[in-house]
Amino acid sequence: MTTSISARTLGIEAAPSSALGPIPFPRLVLVEWAKATDTRAARWLLALGGLSTAGMMLAPVLAPTSFDQTYASYLGVAALALSILLPVVAILMLTGEWSQRTAFTTFTQEPRRIRVLNAKLAASMVLGGGAAVFGGVVTAAGLGVASASGRALEANLTVGAITGYLLFVLLNVLAGVALGALLQTSATAIAASFALPAACAVLGTASTLVADWIDMSTTWSWVLESDWGGHVPQISVSVIFWVAIPLAAGAVRTIRRDVT
């Protein structure tokens, strides 16, 4: 064991001036990205997400009569598959700080907590973008298998459809981030991410107000199908409800919460 310790090790000499500035935002994003992907649990979850997406892609390949044999329909399957586990990954990025108590280190290294939240938001968007690309690759593979089996597929993928797909995936990630930021407990937030949309769907059968303006399974499917005509207000309201409000409230809660 070392008993003679150099001054440099203990670091009492003045740090170089470059170190005295704030932590650059890209560095915070990189750190959050590393934290979201460097544990065994996180890798299992990501692998599971990948496998389930590939698995669900088998449905339109194996059951051609139940699914439209179009490019957009295959991409829609990938989107739905991603929307199951991706929000969970996003939730854990936020709640992990509290459940694993790493907030002690994180918020002493960067006491401006809003910067950490923004970095998590940015990292989650990178994750969502990467997942969307992965979903695209799985879709291409599914389409390849289907067309190799001699099936005729309608090549109906427009820029609008791809944009809708990307937005849908990112919205699901954002909803996870917002819920995680607000509830701050992994189990509660994950349960809520499955229960609340389901509850809205049920309420939607009783109230068209909920069905058309709040229920994300309706409004966000318009996004996925790139069906914007006349739906922009409803889509906006549901995004405010599921993303903006919980995210803002979660930011306030995160900033004010005592780390104990």
Using CB under 8 A as the criterion, which residues of the chain lie in contact with another protein when the complex forms? 1-3, 5, 7-15, 18-23, 27-28, 30-31, 34-35, 38-42, 96, 100-112, 256, 258-260
| Residue 99 C-beta: closest distance to another protein, Å | 10
Distances (CA, A) of 133 to 50, 108, 111, 136, 140: 11, 35, 34, 5, 10
Q: Contact, 181 vs 117, CB < 8 A?
A: yes
- The nearer residue to another protein, 114 or 195, going by C-beta atoms, is 114
Cβ neighbours of 120 (radius 10 Å):
27
| Residue 121 C-beta: closest distance to another protein, Å | 17
Give every CB contact of residue 59 below 8 A, 6+ residues apart in sequence: 66, 67, 77
- The nearer residue to another protein, 117 or 239, going by C-beta atoms, is 117
Residues 194 and 66: their CA atoms lie apart, in Å, by 25
At 3, the amino acid letter reads T
Name the nearest CA neighbour of 187 among 92, 255, 87. Answer: 92
| Residue 147 C-beta: closest distance to another protein, Å | 42
- The nearer residue to another protein, 42 or 59, going by C-beta atoms, is 42
| Residue 93 C-beta: closest distance to another protein, Å | 12
- The nearer residue to another protein, 68 or 110, going by C-beta atoms, is 110
- The nearer residue to another protein, 7 or 206, going by C-beta atoms, is 7
- The secondary structure of the chain in percent helix, strand, coil, rounded to multiples of 5, reads 80, 0, 20
Residues 257 and 173: their CA atoms lie apart, in Å, by 24
- The nearer residue to another protein, 83 or 184, going by C-beta atoms, is 184
| Residue 29 C-beta: closest distance to another protein, Å | 11
Q: How many helices (H) and strands (E) does the chain have?
A: 12, 0
| Residue 47 C-beta: closest distance to another protein, Å | 15
- The nearer residue to another protein, 38 or 63, going by C-beta atoms, is 38
Q: DSSP assignment, residue 4?
A: S
Residues 134 and 139: their CA atoms lie apart, in Å, by 9
| Residue 96 C-beta: closest distance to another protein, Å | 7
